[in-house]
Each structure stands twice: as structure tokens, then as C-alpha cells.
Amino acid sequence: MILTVTLNTALDITYRTPALTPHTTNRVAEVSERPGGKGVNVARVLSALGHETVVTGFAGGRTGDAVRELLAADGPTDALVAIEGTTRRTIAVVDEATGDTTQLNEPGPTVTPAEWAAFLASYEGLVARADAVALCGSLPPGIHVGAYAELVRAARAAGRPVLLDTSGEPLRRGIAARPDLVKPNADELAQLTGSREPVRATRDARRRGGRAVIASLGAAGMFAATADGAWRATPPRTVRGNPTGAGDSVVAGLLSGLVEELPWPERLTRAVALSTATVLAPAAGEFDREAYADLLRQVEVTEVTEQSEQPGQGPHATRQHR
């Protein structure tokens, strides 16, 4: 079982409009609702890949009820902790004419100390049964900034591999607790390390505590620095669509590869293919299965060696497993 933690769950609402024009009335052609939040998206993709997945975090109010109802139809097991506050909504407006997406995210409900204590008790029991743990997303109001560091330490004490995907001060504190995998995007990595050069920044992040650091670089793919080596993974082409949830599919690819004990090039191939196929899907937490199968054969993974980083040297290429 893979456990995903979403402390700031959401009801994801996607509006699709023929053309989005600011300062006017826009007609919506299609509306969809999905259970959301980064860890929930991860769980839905993992479930679609055939992995038993449990979702925990918080849910409250009418939107929390809607999240539970929709989650029940998607496959992952619901282990969300009830709170008095109301679960937030996130709104994605997709402009069909351009393929661009405008995102509006509510802040989330305030979690009380008693609710946090109830979550910790539940979390410890779930971690004991998990093969791997993913800690994903922002912290809702009321949760202390070192919460992810606390959860990383609990997973490590139980001997479970743990992935951290957050930003800002929660990332800075969480990485110091030595998670097994850290998955920042380019902006989050730059904020953490002060560098936008992927090789330098990921290695700096490893020195700060991340055992393996996998940086999402958008259309450029990703760069991974691990104890076993470093790799670049790139998609065959740039695609347009809804990028919401693409980074969460990266996490799903990495975690599924970890529990299946795949070598790093295969994990990265899967992560990039899933991420790209998610952009082509209509809503977060989904991926285009036909595109995913096709992309698995086309993603290029290149090993980065000490020699290849020297001026004038080309990288040593490692073809992906197909």
C-alpha cells in the first residue's frame, strides 16, 4: 500500500471556455469536479496504475463531503480526518482557444490543535502498513511550519521510504529531516538553494538533507540527483493543455517505480511520460492512457557524469528501458 498525505485537500473545479476574455462575461462550455490537492491527485494516478493507495489528510464541510464522495468512485481508500472547517476549492479556467489555464486556489480551513493530534495518531497507524509515503502540497492555516519535518521523521522511524513535495519554509525544514525523495519544481528549488542551474541546485538540495532530489523543469523534463548517479529526462515534444496535476503525476511515477524497485532511468521515464500525458488530460489527477503508452517509448534519459559537466564534453547517454 502507498500512503499519500494531503494536509490541504481541495475540491478541484475545472471550467472549459471557448475563449477566456478578461473584464467580460465568459460562457463555460464544460464543468468538471474532482477530489483535489496534490496528494489526492498522486493517489488517483497511482490507483490508475494498479497500486493500492490510501489517502489521508483533512476534510470538512460540504466540499469535504463532495471530496469523499468523488474519491470513493476513483479507487483510492479514504482515510481523511474530519474537521470542523470547510475544505477549500480550487478553480481552473481552461481557454480552449489558446490551451492556457488560469488557476484560482482558496487558502484552506484552519486546523485546530486537537484535529492535528487526531491526524498524527491516524498517520502513525497508516505509516506502519505502508510500503511508501508521499507528503504533498501546502499547509493549511493552523498547522505549524515544521509539520512535514515531523511527518518525515515519523515515516523514517517506521522504516518507510518517504517523498516530500512542498515549497517554501515547509520544504526547507522538511528536507533537513532527510526524506528519501524530494520533488521540487524549478522555482521551489531556486527558492531553496538560490540557484537555477539544475545540477548545482539539486546537489545543494541533497547536501541539505534530501537523499534523492528530482527537479521538475516543466517542458524541459526533469533532472535527478541521487546516491546512484544523476540523470536528465526529457519528453519528445512540448504539449499544450491543462498543466494542473502534472507535477503530481511525476510523484506518482517516482513512487510507483520505487515500490516496484525499478532502476532510476525507468522511474524517470515513467514520471516524464505520466506528467506529459496528464497535461493532455481534461482534469487534474488523470492522464491520457494512449499518450502515456506512446510517450514511454519516446522519453530520453541521459546520464550526467562528472566528465560530462566539464566544458566541451557531451553527456554520456543512457537510453530508456522500453
Q: Which residues are catalytic?
A: 248
Shortest CA distance to 235 belongs to which of 262, 216, 256? 216
φ and ψ of 206, to 5 deg? -65, -40
Backbone angles phi, psi at 39, to 5 degrees: -65, -30
What is the rounded distance in angstroms from the CA atom of residue 247 to the CA atom of residue 182? 12
Q: What is each CA distance from 64 to 33, 88, 168, in whole angstroms?
A: 13, 8, 26
Q: Are 80 and 59 in contact (CB under 8 A)?
A: yes
- Asked whether the beta carbons of 136 and 165 are under 8 A apart, the reply is yes
250 closest CA partner among 229, 231, 267: 267
d(CA 306, CA 308): 6
The residues, ordered by sequence, that sit 6+ positions from 173 with a Cβ below 8 Å of its Cβ are 145, 146, 148, 149
Q: Largest Cα–Cα distance in the chain? A: 60
* CA–CA dist 238, 218 (Å, integer): 9
**HSE, side-chain direction, 13 A CA sphere, residue 20:** 14
- Separation between Cα atoms, residue 250 and residue 244, nearest integer Å: 12
Alpha helices in 17-83 (DSSP H): 38-48, 61-72
